[in-house]
Amino acid sequence: MQTKLGCTEDELIEAKEIITHLNPRPGEGKIISRDEVVVPDLIVRERDGEWSIQNYDSGLPELRISPDYIGLLEEGAQISTDARKYLKEQTDSANWFIEAIKQRRNTMIRVMKAIIEKQPQFFSGNTKDLSPMKLQDIADEVKMDISTISRSTRGKYVDTTFGIFELKSFFTEGAKKQSGEIISTNLIKQVLKDIIENENKKKPYNDERLAKKLNAAGYNVARRTVAKYREQLNYPVARLRRELK
């Protein structure tokens, strides 16, 4: 390659280093990313063997209808029929909104409780050990429609003693080991990550070799699936992981 390009070994190494760190999807660069401050929606703590789940409402005012407007609806208030009708419609709408907020908070607590029950290993401190869990599993547990569970977890975060996590991160697909045990795909990704991190950087494994390594460890994973997991872990293909020196 040096002869073909007419460059020195150092120049080739430098070029390889630059190419390795280029974005294979340059169009994504049009999206400006900013560091975001995540404010959790829920707080989870273990107290005396029991889980305490609370909505994170710190600093938020309590929603209520002004007593002045309620007073105008009472008998004897000197207001017109049209004004009374308007106030009645608005207070009914406000009461509905307040009740909807309360119901949403209660739903999130019920969903979080079900997640804790489905992921005991994670909440025992082993944050890498997630059990396979789908939205439908939680929907069945709390007896709600799956669309409600989806809305209750999308873009929502929980503050735990192990850090802040997005609720959707607790949902993971399942895979069967050669032993027949059903495990989370997150566990397979962690094993794959360890293999790549510890490979010979001068002779990195291609996806076929990675699949064989995983199969030897007891995980039935096809080469195409390995490629998908590798990309999700943000690792490039073998030739771009290879170190020239």
The percent of residues in the chain predicted with pLDDT above 90, rounded, is 40
Given pLDDT bands bounded at 50, 70 and 90, which one contains residue 107? very high
**The two three-digit tokens of residue 15, written as one number:** 């070029």
What does 191-238 look like in DSSP terms, one character per residue? Answer: HHHHHHHTS-TTS---HHHHHHHHHHTTB---HHHHHHHHHHTT---H
What pTM was computed for the model?
Answer: 0.65
Q: Which domains does the chain have, with CATH numbers?
A: 42-170 (no CATH), 173-245 (1.10.10.60)
Is the pLDDT at 64 greater than 60? The verdict is yes
pLDDT tens profile 36-58: 678 899 999 998 888 999 998 76
The percent of residues in the chain predicted with pLDDT above 70, rounded, is 91
Mean pLDDT on 4-21: 78
pLDDT at 30: 46
Given pLDDT bands bounded at 50, 70 and 90, which one contains residue 23? low
Mean pLDDT on 97-104: 91
Of 51-60, 83-92, 198-207, the one with minimum mean pLDDT is: 51-60
Mean pLDDT on 54-66: 80
